[in-house]
Chains A and B, each alone.
Chain A
Amino acid sequence: MLLSELFLPVLMVMFMLTVGAYVVAVLDRLIAGAFGAPQAGRVWLAPMARGAWLMTQHANATEAPDWQAWRLAPALYLALAAIGLAVVPWSESLVATDLVTSVVLWGSVEALATVVIFLHGWSANALLALIGGYRYVALGLSYILISMFVLIGVALPAESLQFTQVVASQEALWNVIRQPLGLPLFLIVGLGMTFWGPLNLADSKDLAGGTASEISGPPRLVWDVARAAMLVAFSGVAASAFLGGWMGPWLPGPLWMAIKMLAVLLVLLLLGRVLPRIAPERCVTLMWVVLLPLSFIDLVWAGIGALL
């Protein structure tokens, strides 16, 4: 019982964290290469080499940081990614924790990510890191709200807050077609909460790296791995909520799930490379004035669909 309920799920999540973060690093380098960015070393080895290099580097210290929070924040962000991966179902029975309220738990992961990213920027006791942290809080609230409305939309036809039920409710029609606004909005949330590509405003270049501007060595390795793992967890949630999860013809469920997660990851990483970064002030306006009302429309659409 201890083996099947504790050991195997933990092992599964750890495996996903490691492989997922590596896949993100490789895919991102492949996409960058396809766009003509110069490559140093081989694509498959480069992430490992960078990881090993970071491991051997000295961890930077600032003047009087909040040591506990500063060192814990990257690990906590990684832990949140692990919680996210734990609720992603790979088939009807293959899921690390099949909690009845797993959709709400994912919502909590997004909310707690705001806390952790803010703490990461705040605890360094450095100007640019602090601005990055505050920036994320200002934006993170709108990401959480949009995500919440979109996820309530997918929970409605399933009549459940459980991801396995949400997937099962897409037997006839995937949510990406049933609620056309859902997936695009959710992808924007994904880029936001991992501050990736166009929505990288917390760790952006204009802040010399933002919340991560003062970290080096092992903490930076953990932070980078955690961001990549969070992107993987997010693509797993997106694939379950909108793309029918494990469902598909011929192939076994977990394989379909992996294919769909890879597809979502590819789209996110492509968007990250193609779109320019927007200014934080305009991003807040965009979120509250355009995308949040769109998520209301998505929810009303889902509600009408559930009533009919």
Chain B
Amino acid sequence: MNHGIGIDITFLSLATLAVVTGWRVFRTDSMVRASFFLLVSFIAVGVIMILLAAEYLGVAMFFMMAVEMTVMALFMVMFMMNPAGLNPMNMVHQERIAIGAGIVGFLVLGAMALLAAFPDQPVSADLEPVRSLGNEMLGDSMLIFESAGIVLLTTMIGVVVLSSHRGRYGAAAVGSLPPGLEPGGDPAGKLEEDEEEESGGHQHHHHH
């Protein structure tokens, strides 16, 4: 282990940043803040990966997580109907199960860190991490990676199609009508002339 104290200091501060921002994800009161705290946590992990000489994977973490967290924040705001994600909301649900799972997870991971025998195989200095990773991903394992990629993409599109079918004002395919001003009343705003639903006090339908 011939690295300078600078590496140690960098690692410890990044690790602290990753843990603290990861904790803030659950203590904050907004979906947008939570997403971007998580992004900071991931970026800190990405820099640690660069310290570990995973130069491609570390940098890939930055742009993947940046786009991912932006999309996540926006989709959460859209689906949760919290205007702009600005309204305070509780980010923690099912607290007992979550606390239990958290303690178990911490114990398992902590035990692994303390008890597992990690391999001591220093890589040679002339190893090119980017090239070898590329050979690995686009060589023998190409079929696996490409199939996984297509499956993930299909899943994402499918999820959006399924979940966006029902919009805020009813099924998306039918057309959006705002809810009534009173329960079961006419839709607020403009009413279609040929609307067949008989409701409310308006009885002046014109049949052509």
Taking A100-B128, A111-B67, A125-B86 as known contacts, 4 extra A-B pairs with beta carbons closer than 8 A to each other, sorted by chain A number, are: A100-B129, A107-B63, A108-B62, A115-B39
Q: Count of chain B residues with Cβ under 8 Å from any Cβ of A?
A: 25
B67, A144: Cβ atoms closer than 8 Å: yes
B59, A114: Cβ atoms closer than 8 Å: no
Least distance between A183 CB and chain B CB atoms (Å): 22
Nearest neighbor of A138 in chain B, beta-carbon distance = B74
Say yes or no: is B156 at the interface (Cβ < 8 Å to chain A). no
Say yes or no: is B44 at the interface (Cβ < 8 Å to chain A). no
B70, A137: Cβ atoms closer than 8 Å: yes
Residues of A within 8 A of B76 (CB): none
Residues of B within 8 A of A122 (CB): 32, 84-86
Residues of A within 8 A of B130 (CB): 100-101, 161
1/0 contact trace for A137-152 toward B, CB 8 Å?
A: 1001100100000000
A161, B67: Cβ atoms closer than 8 Å: no
Least distance between A276 CB and chain B CB atoms (Å): 28
Say yes or no: is B11 at the interface (Cβ < 8 Å to chain A). no
Least distance between A26 CB and chain B CB atoms (Å): 32
A115, B36: Cβ atoms closer than 8 Å: yes
A115, B66: Cβ atoms closer than 8 Å: yes
A112, B32: Cβ atoms closer than 8 Å: no
Q: Known contacts A101-B59, A161-B56; decide if A114 and B67 are in contact (CB<8 Å).
A: yes
Interface residues of B in 51-96 (CB under 8 A from A): 55-56, 59-60, 62-63, 66-67, 69-71, 73-74, 84-86
Residues of A within 8 A of B69 (CB): 115
B59, A108: Cβ atoms closer than 8 Å: yes
**12 A–B contacts, CB within 8 A, in A order:** A2-B6, A100-B130, A101-B55, A104-B56, A104-B59, A104-B63, A108-B66, A118-B70, A119-B32, A122-B85, A141-B67, A144-B67
Say yes or no: is A226 at the interface (Cβ < 8 Å to chain B). no
A114, B32: Cβ atoms closer than 8 Å: no
Residues of A within 8 A of B74 (CB): 134, 137
Q: Known contacts A101-B55, A122-B84; decide if A108 and B39 are in contact (CB<8 Å).
A: no
Residues of A within 8 A of B168 (CB): none
1/0 contact trace for B112-138 toward A, CB 8 Å?
A: 000000000000000011100000000
Interface residues of A in 97-133 (CB under 8 A from B): 99-101, 104-105, 107-108, 110-112, 114-115, 118-119, 122, 125, 130
Residues of B within 8 A of A118 (CB): 70, 73
CA distance A180 to B144 in the complex (A): 34
Say yes or no: is A206 at the interface (Cβ < 8 Å to chain B). no
CA distance A118 to B73 in the complex (A): 11
Residue of A101, A108, A112, A130 contacting most chain B CB atoms (<10 Å): A108
Least distance between A146 CB and chain B CB atoms (Å): 14
Closest 6 CB pairs of A and B: A108-B62, A111-B66, A108-B63, A111-B63, A104-B59, A112-B66
Say yes or no: is A66 at the interface (Cβ < 8 Å to chain B). yes
Say yes or no: is A69 at the interface (Cβ < 8 Å to chain B). yes
CA distance A46 to B110 in the complex (A): 59
A66, B67: Cβ atoms closer than 8 Å: no
Nearest neighbor of A110 in chain B, beta-carbon distance = B63
Q: Which of B30, B59, B70, B85 contacts A105 (CB 8 A)?
A: B59
